Chain A
């Protein structure tokens, strides 16, 4: 009998424990966001209007307030519908049809529907609005409401990467009653709380967020700290939980440094046009590639926070990346032989660059110059202020420099933007007159057949590599400094979605 009682008691206890832990688990899954963190940005956002400027600091704040029609996986590889209910359909060569998720509301109560998408597109392409983001939507002609939850986006010509562009454009409410530049209203996981100009921006978790994951941290405060040393000091002293500018040299001093592959590609564009310059000869251009030890640059200058580019200005995650094209190996003997064959030994080449806009830019150029000198060339490095550099060198369509340094990234994850600017002979920074590369890039821009587009880019990338129109250097990584208590996996594109952050302990 007593034994029996004991069994019953145990059973009751077990059930009780189970119930308690079930209740606790339930409570946990429903737990509201809690805690707060501070993030140090390099500069104060110029505006909080998500469509107006091309300002990374604004983006770092508003990406958690607004949503886009399309989302992208953190590794950059897949584009998935976000505010859209499904992948968009091409109804005719210049019309993409998006259906929208029902039941989503902006934080001011307005429904997120076709009117919101039309208002967004109309605003961003309005010439009077003069958006600095126009380059990302330059192909878009307008938007048309089909019904409440269906909208067509019209393009000037066939635009195969329109869905990618819709990962860039944040959707705004159609009839805001406040100025979005100072008081953003979105559908995102965070709500705008206050902007104390010059001091801080505060966001709070949106308890009614329609998507996942929901915000786990209740309050996010953005501080503006331009000096890298002051950012690091604030991180070390516990004032900030996340800093955006951690230098490779400082990674050991930060409580925690998190690294992701980046989308930034520093390179030297060579003047491959016909002419008297040394670089008119393909042998010389190849020699300049062989002469540079890309691995040493990655290890010594970037302390391993970079990898050599594979003979193309594209990241492996971008559409158009050609996996069969490889980096020119470091081979000074071959470089010397090629220069000798071209009769270029002892001749002079100029490198034009700016200094300070990109991490390690000047030292990297100096190192390349040294590698070129080692194989028998005379090299002048000319450093200009940024505006002179742009107007007289990088954007100069009449007289291209022998070699001009530039670094580029691409949040659209598609070769088009990068190769149009630096590979195609009509591009703003291109230094060649190769008709084939131009033709393939033009065709790829308007071909909606995915396989055909990919093949065209592969061809163009291969030919550019063989013609050595560029000296490819590195693909640099993003380094973030974090406090020990913050848990967050940064994304490849460097975008910041605060609802993916958690506090531990």
Chain B
């Protein structure tokens, strides 16, 4: 068990190094920060001097070695625009993203599993059909559109919830729902199909034949065996939300998390900040993956090292 975890962790470190390289090269490719930070009417000489002062005119290899040296003791450099340590900025914003993603995923999982199980109990029934329609629309809808629609209905028209920003639980509801909806769709579909399979297996038939109450058969025997795919997908949803969906949802709702920060830093060509954001998120995703692998091994000893 310990060796399994160690090997996964070593693999994670290799991935992290590759992520660092890719992030460094791509951020250097998105363009010269002088282009976006200085007014367009600035002279050529002013642009050159500006870039030089940032140290971004040195050979890329020199910059990379310097960068690696700094990153090894957690110095990601100062944000070009905010002039304070990039890592601090990201860490300041991270709790907000966790709050939103945690809330959104909690909603998705809490609703998806009962809905999926209910639908699986009587495939083809009205409940099943309704569930499928809801989850398909969750899968299909664009989050930007869904977010704006919720804002229009609940903020502009009904005036019951705030349209944007962070604050109490009321601020969390609309962005949380927007983030939850597609994940909910996928989780419902998966729970439903896995449960249909499980309920048709022989051990379930046997359990039923033994006279075990249906609620125990479904809740204890079948659901437990369906847990691994559901957990896997939940992990993926967590990663998807952190790595991508949060950018859209946070930007629409002006939620001050890392996703919105990433949007801003791309807009402003703040390559140093962007570098820190992607590296930290990359680290989180690798860590979540390694963590999930270990958890699966604990649940099911048959899991092999991929």
Asked if residues A238 and B159 are in contact (CB atoms below 8 Å), the reply is yes
Asked if residues B41 and A47 are in contact (CB atoms below 8 Å), the reply is no
Task: Digitize B65-94: 1 where CB-to-A-CB distance is under 8 Å, 0 elsewhere.
Answer: 000000000000001011110000000110
For the complex, is A147 an interface residue (Cβ under 8 Å from B)? Answer: no
Which of the candidate stretches B30-38, B113-121, B233-241 sits at the interface with the other chain? B30-38
Asked if residues A237 and B156 are in contact (CB atoms below 8 Å), the reply is yes
Asked if residues A230 and B148 are in contact (CB atoms below 8 Å), the reply is yes
Asked if residues A229 and B151 are in contact (CB atoms below 8 Å), the reply is yes
A418 to B44, CA, bound (A): 15
Which of the candidate stretches B13-21, B208-216, B248-256, B289-297 sits at the interface with the other chain? B248-256
Asked if residues B49 and A127 are in contact (CB atoms below 8 Å), the reply is yes
For the complex, is B125 an interface residue (Cβ under 8 Å from A)? Answer: no
Task: Digitize A112-148: 1 where CB-to-B-CB distance is under 8 Å, 0 elsewhere.
Answer: 0000000000000001101010110010000000000
- In the assembled complex, the CB of A131 is this many whole angstroms from the nearest CB of chain B, namely 9
Q: How many residues of B contact A (CB 8 A)?
A: 51
Closest B residue to A182 by CB, please name it.
Answer: B84
Closest B residue to A132 by CB, please name it.
Answer: B37
Closest A residue to B152 by CB, please name it.
Answer: A233
Majority secondary structure of chain B interface residues (helix, strand, loop or mixed)? loop
- In the assembled complex, the CB of B43 is this many whole angstroms from the nearest CB of chain A, namely 6
For the complex, is A225 an interface residue (Cβ under 8 Å from B)? Answer: yes
For the complex, is B39 an interface residue (Cβ under 8 Å from A)? Answer: yes
Task: Digitize B138-179: 1 where CB-to-A-CB distance is under 8 Å, 0 elsewhere.
Answer: 000000000010011001100100111111000000000000
Asked if residues B155 and A428 are in contact (CB atoms below 8 Å), the reply is no
Which residues of chain B are within 8 angstroms of A44 by Cβ–Cβ distance?
256, 264
Asked if residues A417 and B41 are in contact (CB atoms below 8 Å), the reply is yes
A233 to B155, CA, bound (A): 7
A130-B50, A237-B163, A417-B41 are contacts. A47–B82 as well, Cβ < 8 Å?
Answer: yes
- In the assembled complex, the CB of A45 is this many whole angstroms from the nearest CB of chain B, namely 9
For the complex, is B263 an interface residue (Cβ under 8 Å from A)? Answer: yes
For the complex, is B27 an interface residue (Cβ under 8 Å from A)? Answer: no
- In the assembled complex, the CB of B241 is this many whole angstroms from the nearest CB of chain A, namely 18
Asked if residues A135 and B39 are in contact (CB atoms below 8 Å), the reply is yes
- Tier of interface size on chain A: 35 or more
Q: Which of A200, A223, A233, A417 contacts B151 (CB 8 A)?
A: A233
Asked if residues A227 and B256 are in contact (CB atoms below 8 Å), the reply is no
Which residues of chain B are within 8 angstroms of A241 by Cβ–Cβ distance?
none
Asked if residues A181 and B254 are in contact (CB atoms below 8 Å), the reply is no
A81 to B227, CA, bound (A): 74
Asked if residues B46 and A198 are in contact (CB atoms below 8 Å), the reply is no
For the complex, is B193 an interface residue (Cβ under 8 Å from A)? Answer: no
A284 to B119, CA, bound (A): 70
Asked if residues A135 and B42 are in contact (CB atoms below 8 Å), the reply is yes
- In the assembled complex, the CB of A451 is this many whole angstroms from the nearest CB of chain B, namely 26
Q: Which of B35, B38, B270 contacts A391 (CB 8 A)?
A: B35
Task: Digitize B192-232: 1 where CB-to-A-CB distance is under 8 Å, 0 elsewhere.
Answer: 00000000000000000000000000000000000000000
Residues of A44-61 at the interface with B, using a CB-CB cut-off of 8 Å, are 44, 46-47, 49, 52-55
Residues of A161-187 at the interface with B, using a CB-CB cut-off of 8 Å, are 181
Q: Which of A239, A406, A422, A429 contacts B162 (CB 8 A)?
A: A239
For the complex, is B60 an interface residue (Cβ under 8 Å from A)? Answer: no
For the complex, is A387 an interface residue (Cβ under 8 Å from B)? Answer: yes
A190 to B160, CA, bound (A): 32
Which residues of chain A are within 8 angstroms of B166 by Cβ–Cβ distance?
198-199
Q: Which of A132, A197, A223, A387 contacts B92 (CB 8 A)?
A: A197
Closest A residue to B151 by CB, please name it.
Answer: A233
- In the assembled complex, the CB of A17 is this many whole angstroms from the nearest CB of chain B, namely 44
Which residues of chain B are within 8 angstroms of A130 by Cβ–Cβ distance?
50, 53-54
For the complex, is A224 an interface residue (Cβ under 8 Å from B)? Answer: yes
Asked if residues A199 and B163 are in contact (CB atoms below 8 Å), the reply is no
Which residues of chain A are within 8 angstroms of B253 by Cβ–Cβ distance?
230
A387 to B35, CA, bound (A): 7
Q: Can you list 10 residue pairs at the A/B interface with Cβ under 8 Å?
A: A44-B264, A132-B38, A198-B260, A225-B163, A234-B162, A387-B35, A387-B269, A390-B31, A391-B31, A429-B41
- The 9 A-B residue pairs whose C-beta atoms are closest, nearest first, are A198-B256, A387-B31, A46-B81, A421-B41, A233-B156, A130-B53, A135-B42, A233-B163, A234-B163
B residues whose Cβ falls under 8 Å from a Cβ of A: 30-32, 35-44, 46, 49-50, 53-54, 79, 81-84, 92-93, 96, 148, 151-152, 155-156, 159, 162-167, 251-254, 256-257, 260, 263-264, 267-270
**Told that A227-B254, A395-B44 touch, could you supply 15 new A-B pairs with CB distance under 8 A?**
A54-B37, A130-B50, A134-B38, A135-B43, A198-B260, A224-B254, A227-B252, A229-B252, A230-B253, A239-B155, A391-B32, A394-B40, A410-B41, A428-B40, A429-B40
A residues whose Cβ falls under 8 Å from a Cβ of B: 43-44, 46-47, 49, 52-55, 127-128, 130, 132, 134-135, 138, 181, 197-200, 223-227, 229-230, 232-234, 236-239, 386-387, 390-391, 394-395, 397, 406, 408, 410, 417-418, 420-422, 428-429
